[in-house]
Amino acid sequence: MLVQPYLFFNGRCEEALDFYRRALGAEITMLMRIKDSPDPVPPERVAPGSEEKILHANLRIGATDVMASDGSCSGEPRFAGFSLSLMVSEAATADRVFAALAEGGEVYMPLGETFWSPRFGMLTDRFGVGWMVNVAPDES
């Protein structure tokens, strides 16, 4: 069994993919636009003029695949009730990705030492996606 996040950006998916590519070094491994769907998308499912929007994309962040779409292109994306937890191996990487993800977003808990991690912080990025950035504890 495998659980993978699927994020709907309501018309801002391409912008989000570009942002995660820059902020996290993510790789786009698949991208299909609405106009390229082998089965036509029913017009009542998407806003008029959305042919260039993203029907489906796969984004690889480290060893994890995150799927994404523009969804119905009906306004601002809304993400509530979850965060994506990003585990990195060193503090310098945590500092870099936390700062990049926080650009245009909101920091809820600045990076700092916790009882479970030498560096942990929480933020919501510019698209409203919650992130928890952790440095893996030293096992030695």
The pLDDT value recorded for residue 139 is 61
The pLDDT value recorded for residue 50 is 87
- Overall fold of domain 6-69: 3.30.720
Is residue 68 within 8 A of residue 16, CB to CB? The reply is: yes
pTM: 0.92
CATH class, domain 84-135, is: alpha beta
The pLDDT value recorded for residue 77 is 84
Q: Where in the chain is the domain with CATH 3.30.720.110?
A: 84-135
Tokens of 35: 């106009």
**Residue ranges of the chain with pLDDT lower than 70?**
139-140
Q: Where in the chain is the domain with CATH 3.30.720.100?
A: 6-69
Is residue 84 within 8 A of residue 134, CB to CB? The reply is: no
The pLDDT value recorded for residue 2 is 93
The pLDDT value recorded for residue 52 is 93
Tokens of 3: 């659980």
Q: Which residues contact 61 (CB under 8 A, 6 or more apart)?
A: 20, 24, 26, 86
